[in-house]
């Protein structure tokens, strides 16, 4: 059955249901660029090894480039009977140049070929994701700079805890994204390694200069074990894991924006162009975009579990199960890129409500720790100070007032150490600027963090 690449030992045609079920072309056609790029490099390496003469290398290269242009223009037809992208490109090559084209697969298997294509695809995707992640960070930095000295409540357990700068809060996400980008960089190092030369599983019998081919394809080295090279997809799993973490970070910020835009918090307003309405309730303005990003995080977790589960029981080496990695990979790349892209735009469409943010800091004894620290500076131990401030809070709550509303005599009744400098010490701004410690919310520290971020983002 010669119409299949592997048809030599078959006596009958493949059942069309099998063709349909087996085919990956419906989704792996997306690897066409990488497949051609890989074959271009591979034929040069075959030329260098003396397996294909240099003039035939030229003929094959020209034909591959022509196929590239045809696909780019949409002048190429994909057909389920031809299984996958590798088969399509090889067939198209043979259609163009006949016997010469039949030499391209010498010493190569689709097993090492698909590993290469996947690695090249992820390389390009990681570079692209890194670019959009950087844009997102830049947007965070810009919003932080614009609101440098705005004060908001910092929370633990979703209870108001201590005053912090809005810029400090936003830069927390900058840091998360910075680590996400570092993780992608590390994944890229392990991904950008050449598997070709491994052939089906045991290595090719043709003397291929793998280091040369690795350089041709701008890769950072060659795989060290042919069986590992064709059968592991750990680089796929770690790419999706890194993406899952990044999405988790985005999702947390989304959750905050959703909360902050409620009537209950009333900290922000998302511009009309980035919100949607309800078909029945005329008063509604819904934060659909952050909700969707939060929701899509689940898809990426699902993709990670799909790939890990798909891999866990397959014996060495290649097994067709591994074809199931493609859709999770493509979905992850698209979801992460789109989420970062829309989030970058959304950030610029958020209006923070300064008075409401500050109002929330003024109520609920957020400066209680600072009152205790004040007593410590006057000579009390911290544990005693904690109790004293606890007593003050109980009294204030009973009267329904804040610390500021209590006069000095009332204050002094809890500790003689309290003097009239107390009111300055518990102003939210003082509390913030008392935290001029590296990593803290003091304004000088946040300015330094912003400068550092700007510097890092220049790269």
Using CB atoms within 10 Å of the CB of residue 178, give its burial: 0 to 12 exposed, 13 to 18 middle, 19+ buried: middle
The residue from 103, 111, 139, 162 that contacts ligand ARG (CB under 6 A) is 111
Site string for ligand ARG, 41-80 (x = CB under 6 A): ----------------------------------------
> Could you tell me if 80 and 26 are in contact, meaning their C-beta atoms sit under 8 angstroms apart?
yes
Is residue 112 a contact residue for ligand ARG (CB under 6 A)? no
- What is the C-alpha separation between 169 and 230, in angstroms, rounded? 45
Pairing of strands 350-352, 268-270: antiparallel
Residue closer to ligand ARG (CB basis): 81 or 364 = 81
Structure letter (DSSP) for residue 159: E
Distance from the first to the final alpha carbon of the chain: 55
CA 10 to chain centre: 45
Residue closer to ligand ARG (CB basis): 105 or 168 = 105
Structure letter (DSSP) for residue 142: H
The residue from 110, 134, 147, 294 that contacts ligand ARG (CB under 6 A) is 110
Q: How many binding residues for ligand ARG (CB under 6 A)?
A: 11
Residue closer to ligand ARG (CB basis): 236 or 422 = 236
**Integer CA distances (angstroms), 85 to 10, 218, 248, in order:** 22, 22, 33
**Shortest gap between Cβ of 229 and ligand ARG (angstroms)?**
13
Q: Which residues 16-35 are close enough to bind ligand ARG by CB under 6 A?
A: 24, 28
**Shortest gap between Cβ of 174 and ligand ARG (angstroms)?**
38
Extended strands (E) in 402-444:
none
Q: Which stretch binds ligand ARG (CB under 6 A): 48-56, 89-97, 208-216, 322-330?
A: 322-330
The residue from 322, 347, 360, 411 that contacts ligand ARG (CB under 6 A) is 322
**Shortest gap between Cβ of 109 and ligand ARG (angstroms)?**
7
Cis peptide, bond prior to residue 317, ω within 30 of zero: yes
**Shortest gap between Cβ of 60 and ligand ARG (angstroms)?**
21
Least Cα distance to 170 among 150, 140, 149, 138 occurs for 140
**Shortest gap between Cβ of 65 and ligand ARG (angstroms)?**
23
Structure letter (DSSP) for residue 30: G
Residue closer to ligand ARG (CB basis): 147 or 326 = 326
Is residue 84 a contact residue for ligand ARG (CB under 6 A)? yes
Active-site residue numbers? 157, 278
Q: Which stretch binds ligand ARG (CB under 6 A): 8-16, 209-217, 318-326, 332-340?
A: 318-326
The residue from 94, 114, 250, 300 that contacts ligand ARG (CB under 6 A) is 114
The residue from 318, 343, 374, 403 that contacts ligand ARG (CB under 6 A) is 318
Rg (CA), the chain: 31
Q: Which residues 325-354 are close enough to bind ligand ARG by CB under 6 A?
A: 326
**Integer CA distances (angstroms), 335 to 28, 126, 181, 242, in order:** 17, 13, 16, 13
Least Cα distance to 374 among 401, 397, 403 occurs for 403
Q: Which residues 360-389 are close enough to bind ligand ARG by CB under 6 A?
A: none
Q: Which residue intervals of 152-287 are DSSP H helices?
A: 166-191, 210-216, 226-231, 234-260
- What is the C-alpha separation between 458 and 138, in angstroms, rounded? 10
**Shortest gap between Cβ of 22 and ligand ARG (angstroms)?**
9
The residue from 243, 323, 335, 344 that contacts ligand ARG (CB under 6 A) is 323
Residues lying near ligand ARG in the complex (CB under 6 A) are found at 24, 28, 84, 110-111, 114, 318, 320, 322-323, 326
């Amino acid at each position: 059955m010669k119409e299949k690449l592997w048809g030599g030992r078959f006596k009958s045609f493949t059942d069309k249901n099998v063709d349909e079920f087996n085919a990956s072309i419906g989704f792996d056609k997306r690897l066409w660029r990488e497949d051609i790029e890989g074959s271009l490099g591979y034929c040069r390496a075959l030329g260098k090894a003396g397996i294909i003469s240099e003039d035939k290398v030229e003929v094959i290269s020209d034909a591959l480039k022509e196929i590239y242009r045809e696909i780019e223009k949409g002048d190429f037809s994909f057909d389920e009977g031809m299984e996958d992208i590798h088969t399509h490109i090889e067939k198209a090559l043979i259609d163009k140049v006949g016997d010469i084209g039949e030499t391209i697969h010498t010493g190569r298997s689709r097993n090492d070929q698909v590993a290469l294509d996947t690695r090249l695809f992820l390389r390009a995707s990681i570079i692209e994701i890194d670019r959009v992640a950087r844009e997102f960070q830049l947007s965070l930095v810009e919003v932080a700079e614009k609101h440098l000295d705005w004060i908001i409540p910092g929370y633990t357990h979703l209870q108001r805890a201590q005053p912090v700068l809005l810029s400090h809060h936003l830069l927390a996400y900058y840091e998360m994204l910075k680590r996400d980008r570092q993780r992608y960089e590390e994944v890229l190092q392990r991904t950008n390694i050449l598997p070709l030369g491994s052939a089906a599983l045991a290595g090719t019998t043709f003397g291929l200069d793998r280091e040369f081919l690795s350089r041709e394809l701008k890769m950072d080295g060659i795989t060290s074990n042919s069986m590992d090279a064709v059968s592991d997809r750990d680089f796929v799993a770690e790419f999706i894991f890194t993406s899952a973490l990044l999405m988790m970070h985005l999702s947390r910020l989304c959750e905050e924006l959703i909360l902050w835009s409620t009537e209950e918090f009333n900290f922000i307003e998302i511009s009309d162009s980035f919100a949607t309405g309800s078909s029945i309730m005329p008063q509604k303005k819904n934060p659909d975009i952050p909700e969707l990003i939060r929701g899509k995080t689940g898809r990426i977790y699902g993709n990670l579990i799909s790939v890990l589960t798909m891999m866990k029981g397959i014996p060495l080496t290649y097994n067709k199960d591994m074809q199931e990695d493609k859709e999770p990979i493509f979905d992850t790349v698209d979801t992460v890129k789109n989420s970062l892209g829309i989030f970058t735009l959304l950030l610029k469409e958020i209006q923070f409500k300064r008075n409401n943010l500050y109002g929330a800091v003024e109520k609920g004894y957020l400066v209680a720790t600072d009152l205790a620290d004040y007593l410590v500076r006057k000579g009390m131990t911290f544990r005693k100070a904690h109790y004293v401030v606890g007593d003050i809070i109980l009294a204030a709550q009973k009267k329904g007032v804040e610390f500021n509303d209590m006069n000095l005599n009332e204050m002094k009744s809890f500790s003689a150490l309290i003097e009239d400098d107390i009111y300055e010490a518990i102003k939210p701004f003082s509390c913030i600027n008392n935290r001029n410690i590296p990593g803290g919310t003091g304004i000088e520290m946040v300015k330094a963090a912003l400068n550092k971020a700007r510097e890092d983002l220049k790269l």
